[in-house]
């Protein structure tokens, strides 16, 4: 793949994108690039004020709507509000996330990382899927490689909590979800495509919220080796807009160790392709979220 940049995004006029977590970092850069290509962009943000600051620079095609992925009531309200507007969504970008935070619970009692990064996006996708016409892009991480899905204790109620393993579990869940979503879309004869992306090592505010000793180390090295957020957003933008992308494709930076660089198709680990775990995680997610999607 030749070096692909935001300048290569095809014209997105008359297309609508929902970007979660678009008030800062990768989400904000994703929204800026899409709006620059002519798209209508819904900035789905927990912090509406910060979202409005981003949207102010994007023109009339940007709108901000409140979405707190750590609260399923908020997810349902966001989806209902979008339905009331009768707006079709061409592409949903499941971007928002938290990383390596101390043990906390969402409004629904889920461990914060699996609750925000996976379950919130699972519920959102389920509630919006009948309005989506083109693609669902779910943002994962190279840290999926340290993850393991514990279906008996997904929310860390019995295990000793480890913030990094919890993050890895949530990012592995993102990939299992993206691949299983494509299998089910195909089985249902849908033309909607599910893809995944990861930003490599990107300098965003995500690295400054882990509240740990390891987090302090990450804070120190990130400005040195991390790529700018606008570059980190490119794999997501490629997955969301490039013609000819593969269904269930996974896209990340093309540089050494996938840490930085322009997008290319990359591989995820074997655990992410375990169809039995993916199916069981899907069914558990439906029960936890109170939603159903693409049942067999």
* Catalytic site positions: 167
Whole-angstrom distance, CA of residue 228 vs CA of residue 222: 10
Whole-angstrom distance, CA of residue 108 vs CA of residue 261: 38
- CA-to-CA dists, residue 65 to 15, 42, 250, angstroms: 18, 7, 28
In 3D, which of 181, 188, 223 has the Cα closest to residue 205? 223
- Rg (alpha carbons) of the chain, rounded to whole number: 17
Token pair of 61 as six digits? 């095609």
In 3D, which of 180, 167, 83 has the Cα closest to residue 124? 83
The residue whose two tokens read 């690039």 is 33
CA dihedral (80, 81, 85, 87) positive or negative: negative
Token pair of 261 as six digits? 């660089």
Q: Are 69 and 46 in contact (CB under 8 A)?
A: yes
Whole-angstrom distance, CA of residue 79 vs CA of residue 21: 15
Number of neighbours of residue 189 by Cβ within 10 angstroms = 6
- Which spans in 24-114 are helix H? 25-36, 48-55, 72-84, 112-113
């Amino acid at each position: 793949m030749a070096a692909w940049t935001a300048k290569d995004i095809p014209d997105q006029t008359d297309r609508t994108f929902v970007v979660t977590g678009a008030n800062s970092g990768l989400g904000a850069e994703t929204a800026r690039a899409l709006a620059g290509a002519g798209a209508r962009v819904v900035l789905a943000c927990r912090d509406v004020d910060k979202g409005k600051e981003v949207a102010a620079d994007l023109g009339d095609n940007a709108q901000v709507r409140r979405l707190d992925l750590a609260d399923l009531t908020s997810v349902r309200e966001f989806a209902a509000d979008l339905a009331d507007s009768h707006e079709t969504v061409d592409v949903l970008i499941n971007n928002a996330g938290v990383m390596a935070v101390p043990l906390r619970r969402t409004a629904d009692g889920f461990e914060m990382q699996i609750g925000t990064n996976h379950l919130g996006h699972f519920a959102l996708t389920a509630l919006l899927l009948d309005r989506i016409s083109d693609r669902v892009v779910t943002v994962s991480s190279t840290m999926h490689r340290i993850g393991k899905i514990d279906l008996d204790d997904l929310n860390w109620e019995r295990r000793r909590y480890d913030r990094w393993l919890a993050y890895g579990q949530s990012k592995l869940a993102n990939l299992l979800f993206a691949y299983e979503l494509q299998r089910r879309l195909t089985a249902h004869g849908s033309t909607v495509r599910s893809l995944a992306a990861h930003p490599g090592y990107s300098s965003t505010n995500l690295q400054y919220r882990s509240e740990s000793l390891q987090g302090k180390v990450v804070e120190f090295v990130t400005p040195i080796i991390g790529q700018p957020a606008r570059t980190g957003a490119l794999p997501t933008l490629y997955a969301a807009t490039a013609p000819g992308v593969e269904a269930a494709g996974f896209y990340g930076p093309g540089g050494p160790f996938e840490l930085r660089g322009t997008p290319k198709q990359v591989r995820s680990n074997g655990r992410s392709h375990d169809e039995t775990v993916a199916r069981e995680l899907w069914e558990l997610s439906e029960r936890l979220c109170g939603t159903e999607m693409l049942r067999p």
